[in-house]
Every structure is written in C-alpha cells, then in structure tokens.
Structure 1
Amino acid sequence: MSLIFKRHSVRRFTDQKVEDEKIENLLKAGMQAPSACNQQAWEFIVVSKPEDKLAISKMHEYAKPAEKASHLIVTLGNLNGANCHRLIDQDLGACNENILLQATHEGLGAVWLGFHPIEDRTLRLKEYLNIPDNCIPFSVICVGYPAYESEVKLRYDESKVHYDRY
C-alpha cells in the first residue's frame, strides 16, 4: 500500500524527458487493470510533440499541466472491443489508476485530466487527435518528472465508513 499512500497529483514538471522504457511500463501497468468481462477495451495515444501538448493544454481550464509534461497518455475506450459497454468507464478508471501508481513507482509525477463524459472536451480531443468514432477519449494523463516535492496527506475519514447498513 505504500505506493497508494505516496501517489498524488503533480501538475508542474521539470524539462527532463521521461525515458521510453518508463512510458512503456506505464502502459503495461494500465493494461494490467481488471476489466468487465475481461474486455480490455482500452487503447492509448502517447503524445510528446510540444505543439500537440500545447493544443491539448488549451482544451479546458484544468488542462494546463499538459503543456509542460514530458508526455501525455490519452486513454481511449474502444467500443468495438467492448462486450460490456456500460462498464467501460469503470475499466478505464482502473486502468488510469494503475498508470498513476506505476508513475509513482517510476519516480515520476502524473495527473489525471478528466475529459469524458463532458461532451465539448471529448469532442475537441477527438477532432484534434483524429480519434475514430468507435473510440471514446476518456482522459489525458500528464506524465513527467515532478518540479516540486509535496507532502502527501492521508485522506482516511472514519465518518465515511458504514458497516452493514447506512
């Protein structure tokens, strides 16, 4: 559980490029996530060109970290590969969390930028990256070497735990 308690959202990055091997490890971790009906209906676009990162950073007010990240991992849900369409969001959420945890393990910083289900965000991303109609742009994960150290705050709140019934 140490990775879980070390992981936090990093929104500022150094100029150091993340090594290809580490990016591949993040993708392997994402693909190791559980999925409904074992559908594994995820795909990824790895973005590293400065002009693409800048364009994505302007797609919504919270996307600014994308500009300075070493890489962006765009997570997609491929509906053609999905047996359980209604659960694809849960699959991609687990996939994203695995990527974030692996980033922590690799000594990287990362932040999950939400796109789906907000239509204007997903449409902008879909058009810009020429994503096919059968794929849902779920999120953008910004990855890089953190520009700062921060203390992780434990979030356990006993008042939110209910046993047997509410």
Structure 2
Amino acid sequence: MPVTGESKVIETIINRRSVREFTDKLISKEGINTILNAGRWAPSGLNNQPWRFAVIRDPETIQKLSECTNYSKTVAGAPLLITAFLDSENSYNRTKDIQAIGASIQNMLLACCELGLGAVWLGEILNQHEKVNSILGCPSKLELMAVLAIGDPAPGKRTSTRKALSELVFEEKYGEKWEE
C-alpha cells in the first residue's frame, strides 16, 4: 500500500477543501444517500453509531437556519444542509461519541469531495442549538454537533496550507522533534 499520498483516499484527503459558495444546482437523492452512507460507516465505540442526521432541502427552512449563524450567506447559499446530532439515548461515552460523530462528518466531507461537490463543516451555529432544534422540530435527546452546507461549488480557486509535521509531532518524549 502506498504511503506517499499516491492512493485515491490519501489524494482525496489532501485535496479536500472547505467550500462556502455554491451554484443553484440541486443535489440528487442518490448523491445525498451516498453522503449519508459514508457518514454512517464511520467507526464508533461499541459500534453504537450515536449520530443522527437531518437532511434539509427546503429553501424556507434553509433561510431560517441561516439566521442562526454569523455565516448566514454560506448557509443560505447552500441547496443542501445536513445536520449531525448526538443521540443522547444511544450514547455510552460522551467523548468517544463526539469523536465518532467527528469521524462521521469527515467521511461525509470526503464523500462530497469524491462526488465533485463542495461542502463546509459549520460549528459556530452550535451557539444557537436550541433555535436550530426548534426550527427542525428535533426531540431534546438530539444534541446538535454540526451543520454541513453542501452544493455544487461556485467557480474559484481554493487553497490551504498545513503546519510542518515537525511542528505537530514529537517522538516518544515531548520536545524531541519529529524528522520529516
């Protein structure tokens, strides 16, 4: 197995970018199911699958949700939102379950990239979680973890950088730098 970034999965991970502007093109039901299936196949402790998702395509609901965040233009401009929730009734360890939901969200973002779609993981909207749950009619057992804005990416170049591994990794003892 290649370890130098030659595999399709590694290539997708490295090339994925957050997309905040979309065209008006709608996402097919098949595409939505592909994204959701990628999310549900994420790992979770004891395979408890603590995530629940809401699919939002109604323009009026999208507009209401856009009023719950400082990133209203991104939300309002997306033809599809997928919300990720922690189902507190199916939770066995909060930290592990939140990590599992993060893995689920990443799987969905990678699926979007593979499908040629743009997506961004929105967290600031969590400040209005009660309002979001009210708009969506969610039961209190569901705790909002994120909103994904998804759509056909508007034209534009998207770039990103990352810190060097030597700034992020140490070997066995803290302070000993990792040689790249």
1:131 and 2:162 correspond: no
Q: Which secondary structure does the structure 2 equivalent of 1:44 belong to?
A: strand
- Corresponding residue number in structure 2 for 1:87: 96
Which structure has the bigger radius of gyration? Answer: 2
Percent identity over paired residues: 32
* Deviations 1:104-152, CA, capped at 9 Å, x for gaps: 0000000011158x4x411111111111011111111011000023243
TM-score by length of 2: 0.85
Q: Partner residue of 2:169?
A: 161
**Ranges in structure 2 where 5+ consecutive residues have no aligned partner:** 1-9, 175-180
Consecutive unaligned residues in structure 1, runs of 5 or more: none
- Describe how 1:32-43 pairs up with structure 2 within 5 A: 32-43=41-52
TM-score normalised to the size of structure 1?
0.92
* Stretch deviating more after TM superposition (47-56 or 82-91): 82-91
1:110/1:143 contact within 8 Å kept: yes
Deviating runs (4+, > 6 A) in structure 1?
Answer: none
- Matched residue SS, 1:164: coil
Alpha carbons 2:70, 2:124 under 8 Å: kept: no
Quick check: 1:14 aligned with 2:23? yes
Within the candidate set 68, 72, 75, 1:66 is matched to: 75
Q: Which residue of 1 aligns with 2:37?
A: 28
CA distance in 1, matches of 2:53, 2:124: 14
The count of residues paired between Structure 1 and Structure 2 equals: 164
Let me know the Cα RMSD of the aligned residues.
1.5
